[in-house]
Amino acid sequence: MLTSLKPASDPVRQTAARRPRGRRHGATPYHFILPAFLIYAAFLLYPLGRAVHLSLFEWDGLSLATFVGLDNYVSLLSDERLKGAFGHALVFVFFFAVLPVGIGLVLAAVLTRARVRGLPMFRTIVFLPQVIAMVVVAVAWRQIYAPDGVLNRTLRWAGLDSLTRAWLGDYTFSLPAVGLIGTWVTTGLVTVLLLAGMAKIPSEQFESARLDGAGAMREFFAIIVPAVRAEVTVALTLTIVVSLKTFDLVYVTTSGGPGSSTTVPSYEVYRRAFELGEVGSAAAVGVALTVLIFVISFLVNRIGDRISS
Amino acid sequence: MGALTLTVWDQEVRGGQNEQMKLLNAAFEKAYPNITIKRDSQSFDDLGKTLRLALSGKDAPDVVQANNARSSMGAFVKADQLLPLDDWAEAYGWADRYPESVLKYSEYSPDGKSFGTGSVYGLPQVGEVVGVFYSKKKLASLGISVPKDQAAFDSALAAAKSAGETPLLLGNIEKWPAIHMFGPVQGANVPSDQIEKLGFGNAGASWTTPENEAAAKRLSDWRTAGYFNDGVNGTDYDAAWQKLTKGEGVFLMGGSWLAADLQGAMGDDVGFFVPPTKEGDGAHVTGGTGLPFTVTKASKNPDLAAAYINFITNDEAMATLAKTGNLPIVNAEKYAPATGVLRDVYSAFGSVTKDGVLLPYLDYATPTMADTLGESLQGLLDGRLAPKEFTEALEADYADFTKAG
């Protein structure tokens, strides 16, 4: 995915094209990538192929599997619970990807332009949630969202008693509550990526904009945002993948509840394979999720490429 | 028999559990010096996940602890990986040792379709019973005596509420804790033979009966009366019982497994009771057995494996279990400690298995029931599901499964 970000006028590729290609050298490059490819194949391609294979069977993990063709996929389409799960995943795309990119752009722009002292320290603080294991994050936030947790205590202290609720046990608010944990986690990564992008902007551009009388807002939209399009694409790709495959966060905070109001596709994979003993169906959900992630990342990159060029 | 090795996979990893297993294994090896026990213990969750693979592999262990539920033991029976132990049961007289209401929990028909009847596939060592924990001081200060039946329990809840207390503590973010609250309520309202069918997932009963609806209504009435702590669906299971230790509530419905932790925090102040429908009767209440020890089909020496299971569940073994703080499944009252909440737990369990009925965990019923029931109870406790809709949701799950047979 990242390779598609490379500009088309790659000088290396051009010289390579001009070099006369002898037949004897044909296989050499492949020998170089062979070790890496073997590992990739053993730990990624083989399991993927195996999952696709399994998804065509009805199998409880114990007795003999029966071949059912595409039945598992057909039944996915009519599964209301699963539709809900994919719906929740799309809501998570907003909280894990769109919102953090919005926040990250502003935050990075402020940090870049304000020339704050101790930028490395801010960078570290903002990036910190990325470093903590998701399970730890989830446990911590479960405490924060608890009926007598920090959030509700703060609201009560501020006299906003009517707003307090059991955030993770509320049918309306549990999904955004879990989503905001995602925002908290991914904002750091996005901000650091964008900071790197913004550092490349030549300061002359800002100077001439200021001479032309542009304010901070104008500067943000006319210079900063266009300059970091490539970084935004990368950030969106990474965070969308994270949001769609979220499992541990939901597993630890709500187990998909209350009811099934926060269940996500990855959680359904786990539930089907380990709790219900429907390995084939679980594999089918997994494959469908993989395809969805692939399609969305592909689209994001295509759009990103088009805007950049 | 020459020198033999018996491979045993158990999940007795916690303090007292691990201790009793070590003591019993050592005693077995001492009694039969030619036998070596190769023990492999894993946590409940780990064992549940590895067992499937282990049983279908070539080097399957001889004895394994398998969860009673259809999704584990039932699936293994269906896949022909466990050995029916009827012959040994007869030879060792297991039917005399264990009450039928307990033995049922490890019985399946050989095709794995009926649960609670058929061949016996294993024996559990310990029992579990769901009841009500309370603080003695708290009850005394409110002037409430320990309820002797369900009606008295309801009026105790009302009295606690009017005294400005939180009558019932529940932490249900995990979805399953409310099952242990609904179970005893259902046990008091619905004929036990029906609950057994519903709980074991056998055909011939229905969720959409007036009795089941009444049970659901009682729970939803508790909610409308404001008996619960705020936000039960967003509260941790552990946070709820910890509230009891801090005096932030009056009653906590939960399983006997909480007794040790509660005693640790509250000392002699914590008590436990299981309210029967009518004073003086035995209670009909959710409970169960620890994970039964079963023999695999792949075992090369099933006689030895069965002898081992017999050994770790005999009278002396029960004494060892009690000594190490576990709840022995047979003759619990005999081994009850003189004081403390464990005395209450032992006598409650003994009375339920002798005079009352030990009802199965309702989520045993179908592979999807844990989710359906957990999610429906969250709905009921949130007020989103009316009692009627609640029973309909469960009936859909149960009927789907029993029809598919």
**Interface residues on B facing A, Cβ-Cβ cutoff 8 A:** 49, 52, 55-56, 71, 75-76, 78-79, 81, 172-175, 229-236, 239, 367-368, 370-371, 374-375, 378-379, 382, 384
What would the pLDDT profile of B208-223 be if each residue is shown by its tens digit?
A: 999 999 999 999 999 9
H-state helical runs in chain A: 11-18, 28-40, 46-54, 71-77, 80-93, 99-113, 119-131, 134-145, 150-157, 174-199, 203-211, 216-219, 225-227, 229-244, 248-253, 265-270, 279-308
Q: Is A138 exposed, middle or buried (0-12, 13-18, 19+ CB in 10 A)?
A: buried
CB contact under 8 A, B71 and A147: no
ipTM over 0.90: no
For the CA atoms of B64, B66, B71, B77, the dihedral, rounded to the nearest 10 degrees, stands at 60
Q: How far is Cα B198 from Cα B187, in angstroms, rounded to an integer?
A: 12
Query: Residue A90: pLDDT above 70?
Result: yes
Of B129, B72, B111, nearest to B202 (Cα)?
Answer: B111
Residues in A closer than 8 angstroms to B172, CB to CB, are 169
Q: How far is Cα A54 from Cα A52, in angstroms, rounded to an integer?
A: 6
- Determine which of A21-35, A162-176, A250-264, B53-67 has the lowest per-residue pLDDT on average: A21-35
pLDDT at residue B37, as a whole number:
95
Q: With the C-alpha atoms ordered A23, A27, A32, A37, is the resulting torsion angle positive or negative?
A: positive
DSSP SS3 for B115 = strand
Contact B21, B14 (CB under 8 A): no
| CB-closest option in B172, B229, B384 to A171 | B384
Q: Does A80 touch chain B (CB under 8 A)?
A: no
CB contact under 8 A, A276 and B230: no
CB contact under 8 A, A165 and B49: no
DSSP SS3 for B288 = strand
How do the domains of chain B map onto residue ranges? Answer: 4-123+291-328, 128-286+359-404
CA of B32 to nearest chain A CA: how many angstroms apart?
35
What would the pLDDT profile of B244-290 be if each residue is shown by its tens digit?
A: 999 999 999 999 988 888 988 999 999 999 988 888 888 999 988 88
Q: Which two tokens stand for residue A32?
A: 């170089």
CB contact under 8 A, B234 and A61: no
pLDDT at residue A2, as a whole number:
42
Q: Which residues contact B364 (CB under 8 A, 6 or more apart)?
A: B68, B69, B70, B115, B199, B200, B201
Contact B201, B115 (CB under 8 A): yes
Give the confidence band of B405 by pLDDT, cuts at 50, 70, 90. low
Q: Which chain A residue is nearest to residue B369, measuring alpha carbons? A: A276
How do the domains of chain A map onto residue ranges? Answer: 83-273
% pLDDT > 70, chain A: 91
- Whether B4-123+291-328 and B128-286+359-404 share one fold: the answer is yes
pTM: 0.85
What would the pLDDT profile of A175-219 be if each residue is shown by its tens digit?
A: 999 999 999 999 999 999 999 999 999 989 888 988 988 888 898
pLDDT at residue B49, as a whole number:
74
Residues in B closer than 8 angstroms to A61, CB to CB, are 52
CA of A192 to nearest chain B CA: how many angstroms apart?
34
CA distances from residue B264 to B134, B147, B205 in whole angstroms, order as listed: 14, 24, 42
As a residue count, chain A comes to 309
Q: With the C-alpha atoms ordered A7, A11, A12, A18, is the resulting torsion angle positive or negative?
A: positive
> Which whole number is the average pLDDT over A19-25?
56
| CB-closest option in A62, A165, A167 to B76 | A62
Choose the mutation target among B375, B385, B389, B394 for the interface with A, i.e. most A CBs under 10 Å. B375
Average pLDDT, chain B: 91
Query: Residue A1: pLDDT above 50?
Result: no
Q: Which helix (H) or strand (E) holds B72?
A: none
Residues in B closer than 8 angstroms to A62, CB to CB, are 52, 55-56, 75-76, 78-79, 81
CB contact under 8 A, B231 and A271: no
Of B388, B392, B372, B384, nearest to B213 (Cα)?
Answer: B388
The amino acid that residue B112 corresponds to is G
What would the pLDDT profile of B12-24 be if each residue is shown by its tens digit?
A: 887 788 999 999 9
Residues in A closer than 8 angstroms to B235, CB to CB, are 146-147, 166, 169
CA distances from residue A143 to A140, A154, A180 in whole angstroms, order as listed: 5, 13, 14
Residues in B closer than 8 angstroms to A138, CB to CB, are none
What would the pLDDT profile of B318-361 be if each residue is shown by its tens digit?
A: 999 998 888 999 888 888 888 889 999 999 998 898 888 899 99
pLDDT at residue A21, as a whole number:
52
- Backbone angles phi and psi of A66, in degrees to 5: -110, 135
Q: Which two tokens stand for residue A48?
A: 């993927």
Contact A260, B375 (CB under 8 A): yes
> Which whole number is the average pLDDT over A60-85?
89
CA distances from residue A195 to A202, A225, A241 in whole angstroms, order as listed: 14, 12, 21
Q: Which chain A residue is nearest to residue B385, measuring alpha carbons? A: A259
Q: Does A60 touch chain B (CB under 8 A)?
A: yes
Residues in B closer than 8 angstroms to A151, CB to CB, are none
- Domain A83-273 grouped into CATH 1.10.3720.10: yes
What would the pLDDT profile of B24-50 be if each residue is shown by its tens digit?
A: 999 999 999 999 999 998 887 778 778
CA distances from residue A225 to A100, A206, B310, B363 in whole angstroms, order as listed: 15, 13, 74, 54
CATH superfamily of B128-286+359-404: Periplasmic binding protein-like II (3.40.190.10)
- Domain B4-123+291-328 grouped into CATH 3.40.190.10: yes
